Amino acid sequence: MEYLVTVFVIMMIFLMGALWGWNAREKFAEKQLDRFIERFEEKVDETVIKVKLEKHNDMIYMYRLSDNLFMAQGRNEEEMTEVLKKKFPEKVFAASTVDLKECGFKDESI
């Protein structure tokens, strides 16, 4: 009888240890994932510039959305792409779908 109680106690201790270890592993994984997401968001914020496009007559003007700073102008998508690649290498620009359609741009990365 004492043998069964000892085995039962040992099994309960083992089970509690396993559950505690599993819980600790989950918390560690969540922290690592949160750090990864935070770093990824910082990287995106560094490389993506949100812009506003305006078309006046046959000219297209681009402004930074956050402060309305003029960034580039061109007659079509190719001209704008060339100017932006020269002025802002390694950057990606995000404009609203409405602005892109209004200016005749393809809805994709520049």
Strands 92-94 and 48-56, bridge-based pairing: parallel
Between CA 12 and CA 48 the distance in angstroms is: 53
Write down the pLDDT at residue 34.
96
Annotate 39-50 with DSSP letters as a single string.
HHHHHHHHHEEE
- Per residue in 21-39, pLDDT tens? 999 999 999 999 999 999 9
Domain boundary assignment for the chain? 48-103
* pTM for this entry: 0.61
Average of per-residue pLDDT across 67-89:
89
Average of per-residue pLDDT across 40-54:
89
CA-closest candidate to residue 5, choices 20, 13, 19, 18: 13
